[in-house]
Amino acid sequence: MNKRCVSLDVLRGLTVAMMIVVNNPGSWSNIFPPLRHAAWEGCTPCDLVFPFFLFCVGASMAFALAKYTTLTGQAVKKIFKRGILLYLTGLALTAFPFYPSSSSVDPDLGFFRNYVDWLSDMRLVGVLARISMCYVLGSVLALWLKDTKKIWGAIGLLSVLHVGLSLIFAGPEGAFSLEGSFTRKVDIALIGEQHMYHGYRNAAGLPVAFDPEGVFGALTGTCTVLLGYLVGGMIRNAGKETGYVDVVSRLYTYSALSLLGGLVLSLWIPISKPLWSVSYVFYSGGWAMFVLAFCMYLIDVKGIEKPFFPFKALGMNALALFVLSGLLMKINWRYIGWDYTSVFGTSEGMSLLFALLYMLLHLAVAVVLYKKKIFIKL
């Protein structure tokens, strides 16, 4: 079936819209409860946003890589080029405006020393870095293995590897704990504590270096991408007789099985976004399949497309608008200094209102770009 699956663009747009809402609350001290991440274990609606995006990355790969019959040198070059671009974009967004703020400058030190100190503490991974790593590994595996059964085998192998290494090299605090996780050990060895996220706290309330978008979690993050790739392949190869009706039916079934699998696995392996645990892969993947099936039924089967147009437009410039949302916030805090709580207050409801209005601003930009046929690919 050659017809474009509009629901994939819509799901990607809905996901980015939620990413903007989650990342830009009106008040960090009074976030609207459903938009809070689970502290460590568990899964809130907010915790589904990032895996939804990785799932969409995988589904889009099934179309973007369709012209390659195998893992050629040209394909590898294209994959790594895009992966590096994604990583460098994320690093640039973190570093912007590329020099330390006045609050972090020591007047007793020279410019060069202050600059070096600032670079030595800069976080080296993040959302775009995780997307980059999972995209590269997922694309290489998908083109190398090609066969659906072999890709399922890769998902199984990566899952077993993630769990096995987590258990074998666990600290005394426990394999799935903050301080005892193998994830943390890998990132400390490869990145260094000073370049990691320090927002998590231990039982004593002290900050602990742990990066939820670190290197080791890219193994299971790739499983999420490969789940999306398999679903994208199923959509791309939709039968000419049954079309998307059959795909929707199968997706509902697969979503139920994936959700059940994640819940069963959670009896031994906690559902945890920071760890990107195996149970989290299948639990979040199940929800992604369910929402995609629902969108496909409404949009691609029933033809109810117009109400979803703004999100389709956002989905066509997804990463560019996500980067813009972060860039505008940094420009405000660094150069303008407008405190939006002075207008919106600090209540949970007003915090949500600001986040929604900020998202709608980017939705409007997306619509303008779409109508002008401007599509920025990262």
Tens-place pLDDT, residues 200-227: 998 888 999 999 999 999 999 999 999 9
Which residues neighbour 312 within 8 Å (Cβ) at sequence distance 6 or greater?
6, 9, 10, 13, 305, 370
Q: Would the pLDDT of 1 be above 60?
A: no
The answer to the question of residue 378 being in a domain is no
The answer to the question of residue 116 being in a domain is yes
> Six-digit token pair at 78?
């294209």
pLDDT in tens, 69-85: 889 999 999 999 999 99
Mean pLDDT of 122-151: 95
Q: Would the pLDDT of 47 be above 70?
A: yes
**Cα–Cα distance measured from residue 37 to residue 286, given in angstroms and rounded to the nearest whole number:** 19
Q: Would the pLDDT of 103 be above 60?
A: no
Q: Would the pLDDT of 309 be above 80?
A: yes
Q: What is the pLDDT of residue 365?
A: 97
Q: Would the pLDDT of 240 be above 70?
A: no
Measured CA angle at 180 (ends 178, 186), to 5 deg: 95
Q: What is the pLDDT of residue 154?
A: 97
99: left (phi over 0), alpha (psi -120 to 50) or beta: beta
Least-confidence region, from 68-82, 101-115, 305-319: 101-115
pLDDT in tens, 278-287: 999 999 999 9
The answer to the question of residue 326 being in a domain is yes
Q: What is the pLDDT of residue 283?
A: 98
The answer to the question of residue 143 being in a domain is yes
Q: 70 or 230: which carries more pLDDT confidence?
A: 230
The answer to the question of residue 377 being in a domain is no
Q: What is the pLDDT of residue 101?
A: 67
The answer to the question of residue 1 being in a domain is no
Is residue 335 within 8 Å of 32, Cβ to Cβ? no
Q: How many domains does the chain have?
A: 1
Mean pLDDT of 293-307: 93
Query: How sure is the predictor about 242, in pLDDT bands with cuts at 50, 70 and 90?
Result: low
Give the pTM: 0.93
The answer to the question of residue 333 being in a domain is yes
pLDDT in tens, 245-292: 999 999 999 999 999 999 999 999 999 999 999 999 999 999 999 999
Q: What percent of the chain has pLDDT over 90?
A: 74
Mean pLDDT of 18-28: 90
> Six-digit token pair at 63?
């179309």
Average pLDDT of every residue of the chain = 91
Is residue 176 within 8 Å of 272, Cβ to Cβ? yes
> Six-digit token pair at 9?
């663009």
Sign of the CA dihedral 170, 217, 202, 194? positive
Domain of residue 356 covers 6-371
Query: How sure is the predictor about 239, in pLDDT bands with cuts at 50, 70 and 90?
Result: low
The answer to the question of residue 325 being in a domain is yes
